[in-house]
């Protein structure tokens, strides 16, 4: 698992382990109760701080933002763009 | 040798080894299997540096492993110090120090995130697989499955230490012994006519005392414990339907979400009795539940120190919808005036409670324990009154605590963290009313002279240094925080000032 995904998974698993055998890339952590809509604010702030990026409103509302693989992809491409 | 809870559990295991003991997330264990696991884990801990009387810190997750560990703690006389896994390392260290935590049992994700920042004088155990520097539980499989002999165990050992304050505040460890937990279980058994046929759902996080009780209750009675891995209204209702849950205690913030969904797609008719706990339930939610649920519906009032001295069954007391109930067996309530005398009927004062369910005290803090009592009566810090029929009503708090989603938050913890930033001159945390959470947290911040601070700066500081439940939902930046006529920041005034806005 790459660093970005590892960071996301460790954050999501603070309270509950992810279901065994789940497809990490497509797992919808918002719908499955791993972060609630209020907790997303904190999560987004930590991600921005950790990876030195800033999300815009459009990105926050993308369906990919709610899955581990999708979110890692967004972060990865934003970091690439900064290089 | 007296182990009140473990002895009852092993007796049930001997009587019905094939019966399902615990269900969680599609997995289940029988009494026979669970008893063997509890014995093996007990031996494993004893063989790996854990001794009778030790305290173990644990970010306790909702799974079968935690149920095994709770019973193993009962079996060998060790104390568990459960923490919210989202707490920042500094707060965890402060809590562990005040609870004399010697060892740590945690999952790998937790150890990766904060393990290196924690001060653990004893051993660190990894609960899921291997982790460098930690003892893996894989060795437990080869341990003996008979009950270990602990000659000195009396039941007066600390079973759980619950912390009432978080990061920078002075933690108050609430000491709950095996005997105390056993008495609480017996009172609940009597109050709700529970027995070995009951299927009891623990739907709140296991690092709170409520869920620990809901896991132990069925194991003492020979019933089945259902552990909800995490809460969403759907998962809760699905779990009730699939496991045919008969009894549960939920917190009011959960019930307000569940009440909006009842009758949609899940069959909840197995529920014989539903109890609301941990915060006052909105009248609209209460009425929805009474109308839609076809079972007994109760509300209890209490604190971690006295458990639940009052209970109300709304079917029997339809005219007392705003009350939090009458005294349960073994409890009495006294409303105290400021001068210490007893208040009259319908007169508001501090709610004090005497109960056989009382805690042992604040761990190693006889000063705090003494200050919390007026004679035999525990001072709750809540305001309320008792009516002519003996029903208690809750009116608010004396202590300045924010209760958000049923969890106590100390505004000082948030303020002291913010004030560590030299760019912040003044900071205050206060509560705003919230439909779902009861109260939500707001912070107001004034920058130091010449400094600049943004909402985002505050949000980042909070996200990094505070636990989930301490996160502000509203951040206000001002040049100067408004003061009262005495020149002091008043959280009540701030609430009035900002409470009317979105």
pLDDT in tens, B78-108: 999 999 888 888 889 989 999 999 999 999 9
| Residue A50, phi then psi, degrees to nearest 5 | -65, -45
Supply the ipTM of this predicted assembly. Answer: 0.71
Judged by a CB distance cut-off of 8 A, whether residue B475 touches chain A is no
Mention every residue, 6+ apart, whose C-beta is less than 8 A from residue B3. Answer: B74, B75, B77, B150, B153, B155, B178
Distance from CA of A68 to the nearest CA of B (A): 15
Nearest to B463 among A9, A17, A42 (CB): A42
Question: B478 at the A interface (CB within 8 A)?
Answer: no
Closest CA–CA distance from residue A30 to any residue of chain B (Å): 10
Whether chain B has a CB inside 8 Å of the CB on A21: the answer is no
Residues in chain B: 502
**Residue A59 CB neighbours (<10 A):** 16
Which pair of tokens denotes residue B65?
């492993």
Q: Which DSSP string corresponds to B124-180?
A: EEESSS--TTSEEGGGGGGS--SPPP-TT--S-SEEEEEE---SSS---EEEEEHHH
Residue whose C-alpha is closest to residue B75's, from B99, B41, B31 = B41
Angle at Cα B55 formed by Cα B107 and Cα B202, nearest 5°?
55
Mutate to test the interface with B, among A3, A8, A17 (most CBs of B within 10 A): A17
Substitution target from A15, A27, A32, A53 for chain B, most B beta carbons within 10 A: A15
Rounded Cα distance between B368 and B363, Å, is 9
Interface test with A, best of B233, B457, B468, B475 (most A CBs within 10 A): B468
Under a CB-based contact definition with an 8 Å cutoff, are residues B412 and B169 in contact?
Answer: yes
Cβ of B25 and A19 within 8 Å?
yes
> Which architecture, in CATH terms, is A3-82?
Orthogonal Bundle (1.10)
Regions in chain B scoring below 50 on pLDDT: 166-168, 502
Dihedral (Cα; B237, B241, B245, B250), 10-degree rounding: 0
Smallest Cβ–Cβ distance between B109 and the set A13, A33, A41 belongs to A13
Closest among B339, B301, B323 to B388, alpha carbons compared: B323
The two structure tokens encoding residue A30: 């918002």
**CATH of the structural domain B402-498, one choice from 3.40.630.10, 3.30.460.10, 3.30.300.30, 3.30.420.10:** 3.30.300.30
Report in angstroms the alpha-carbon separations of B93 from A11, B100, B363. 20, 10, 16
- Chain B 196-255, residues with CB within 8 Å of chain A CB atoms: 205, 229-232, 235
- Listed residue (B150, B263, B278, B261) closest to B214, CA to CA: B278
Decide if B295 touches A, using CB distance below 8 A: no
Residues B22/B202, Cβ–Cβ less than 8 Å: no
Q: CA-to-CA distance for B202 and A54, rounded, in angstroms?
A: 39
Query: CA of A5, closest CA in chain B: separation in Å?
Result: 12
| Nearest Cβ partner for A49 among B61, B235, B464 | B464
pLDDT for B169 equals 57
For the stretch A14-61, pLDDT in tens is 877 788 788 989 999 988 888 876 688 889 988 998 899 989 888 888
Tell whether A25 lies on the interface with B, counting CB pairs under 8 A.
no
Chain B residue closest in CA terms to A46: B463
Kindly determine whether residue B128 and residue A33, on different chains, have CB atoms separated by under 8 Å: no
- pLDDT at position B407 is 82
Separate counts of helices (H) and strands (E) for chain B: 14, 27
CB contact under 8 A, B109 and A15: no
**Domain residue extents for chain B:** 1-18+30-176, 402-498
Looking at the partner chain, which of A11, A16, A49 has a beta carbon nearest the beta carbon of B229?
A16
pTM, two decimals, is 0.84
Q: Looking at the partner chain, which of B109, B230, B471 has a beta carbon nearest the beta carbon of A10?
A: B109
| CATH entry, B1-18+30-176, from 3.40.50.980, 1.10.10.10, 1.10.287.3510, 3.40.50.300 | 3.40.50.980
Tokens, residue B332: 């009495």
Q: Domain ranges in chain A?
A: 3-82
* B436 inside 8 A of chain A by CB: no
Query: What's the CA dihedral at B23, B27, B33, B39 to 10 degrees?
Result: -80
Question: B468 and A13 in contact by Cβ < 8 A?
Answer: no
Return the DSSP state at B321.
Answer: T
Rounded to a whole number of angstroms, the distance between the first and last alpha carbons of chain B is 59
Which two structure tokens, joined as six digits, stand for B87? Answer: 């707490």
H/E element, B110: helix B108-114
Two tokens at B239? 């779990």
Report strand pairing: B331-336 vs B349-355.
Answer: antiparallel
User: What element of type H or E holds B299?
Assistant: strand B296-303
The residue of chain A nearest to residue B87, with distances taken between CA atoms, is A14
State whether residue B469 sits within 8 Å of chain A by CB: no
Interface of A with B in 54-83 (CB under 8 A): none
Q: List, in order, residues 6 or more apart from B256 with CB less than 8 Å away.
A: B281, B282, B285, B435, B436
A-interface mutation test, from B65, B107, B458, most A Cβ less than 10 A away: B107
Q: Say how far apart CA B289 and CA B318 lie, in whole Å.
A: 13
Helices B31-47, B4-15: inter-axial angle, 10-degree rounding: 140
Q: From A14, which residue of chain B is nearest by alpha-carbon distance?
A: B85
Distance between CA atoms of residues B33 and B143, nearest Å: 14
Is residue B127 within 8 A of residue A16, CB to CB? The reply is no
Nearest CB among A19, A33, A45 relative to B231 is that of A33
Please state, in angstroms and rounded to a whole number, the distance separating the CA atoms of residues B214 and B274: 13
Q: Does B365 touch chain A (CB under 8 A)?
A: no
pLDDT score, position B106: 96
Predicted pLDDT of residue B501: 59
Q: How many contacts (CB atoms, under 8 Å) link A and B?
A: 59
């Amino acid at each position: 698992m790459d660093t970005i995904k590892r960071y996301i998974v460790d954050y999501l698993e603070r309270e509950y382990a992810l279901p065994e055998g789940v497809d990490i890339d497509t797992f919808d952590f918002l719908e499955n109760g791993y972060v609630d809509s209020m907790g997303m604010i904190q999560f987004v702030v930590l991600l921005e701080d950790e990876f030195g990026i800033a999300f815009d409103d459009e990105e926050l509302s993308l369906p990919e933002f709610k899955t581990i693989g999708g979110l890692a992809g967004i972060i990865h491409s934003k970091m690439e763009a900064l290089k | 040798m007296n182990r009140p809870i473990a002895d009852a559990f092993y007796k049930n295991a001997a009587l019905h080894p094939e019966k399902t003991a615990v269900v969680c997330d599609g997995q289940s264990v029988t009494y026979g299997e669970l008893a063997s696991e509890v014995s093996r884990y007990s031996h494993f801990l004893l063989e790996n540096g854990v001794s009778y009387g030790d305290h173990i810190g644990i970010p306790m997750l909702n799974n079968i492993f935690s149920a095994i560990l709770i019973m193993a703690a009962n079996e060998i006389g060790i104390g568990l110090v459960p923490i919210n896994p989202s707490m920042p390392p500094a707060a965890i260290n402060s809590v562990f120090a005040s609870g004399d935590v010697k060892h740590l049992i945690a999952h790998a994700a937790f150890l990766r995130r904060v393990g290196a920042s924690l001060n653990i004088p004893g051993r660190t155990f990894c609960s899921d697989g291997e982790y460098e520097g930690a003892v893996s539980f894989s060795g437990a499989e080869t341990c003996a499955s008979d009950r270990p002999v602990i000659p000195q165990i009396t039941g007066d050992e600390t079973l759980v230490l619950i912390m009432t304050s978080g990061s920078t505040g002075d933690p108050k460890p609430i000491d709950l012994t095996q005997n105390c937990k056993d008495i609480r279980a017996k009172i609940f058994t009597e109050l709700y006519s529970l027995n070995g046929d009951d299927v009891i759902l623990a739907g709140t996080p296991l690092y709170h005392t409520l869920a620990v009780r809901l896991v132990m209750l069925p194991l003492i009675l020979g019933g089945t414990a259902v552990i909800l891995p995490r809460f969403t209204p759907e998962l809760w209702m699905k779990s009730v339907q699939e496991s045919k849950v008969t009894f549960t205690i939920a917190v009011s913030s959960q019930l307000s979400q569940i009440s909006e969904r009842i009758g949609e797609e899940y069959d909840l008719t197995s529920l014989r009795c539903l109890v609301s706990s941990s915060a006052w339930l909105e009248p609209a939610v209460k009425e929805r539940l009474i109308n839609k649920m076809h079972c007994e519906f109760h509300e209890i009032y209490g604190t971690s120190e006295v458990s639940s001295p009052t209970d109300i069954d709304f079917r029997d007391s339809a005219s007392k919808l705003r009350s939090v109930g009458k005294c349960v067996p073994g409890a009495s309530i006294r409303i105290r005036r400021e001068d210490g005398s007893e208040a009259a009927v319908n007169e508001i004062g501090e709610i004090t409670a005497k109960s056989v369910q009382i805690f042992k005290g604040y761990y190693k803090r006889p000063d705090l324990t003494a200050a919390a009592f007026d004679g035999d009566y525990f001072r709750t810090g809540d305001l309320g009154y008792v009516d002519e029929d003996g029903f208690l009503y809750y009116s608010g708090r004396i202590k300045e605590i924010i209760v958000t989603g049923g969890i106590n938050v100390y505004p000082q913890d948030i303020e002291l963290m913010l004030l560590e930033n030299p760019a912040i001159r003044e900071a205050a945390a206060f509560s705003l009313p919230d439909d779902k959470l009861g109260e939500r947290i707001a912070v107001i911040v004034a920058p130091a002279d010449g400094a600049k601070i943004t909402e985002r700066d505050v949000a980042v500081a909070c996200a990094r240094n505070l636990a989930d439940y301490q996160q502000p939902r509203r951040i206000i930046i001002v040049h100067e925080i408004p003061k009262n006529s005495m020149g002091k920041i008043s959280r009540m005034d701030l609430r009035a000032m900002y409470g009317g806005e979105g």
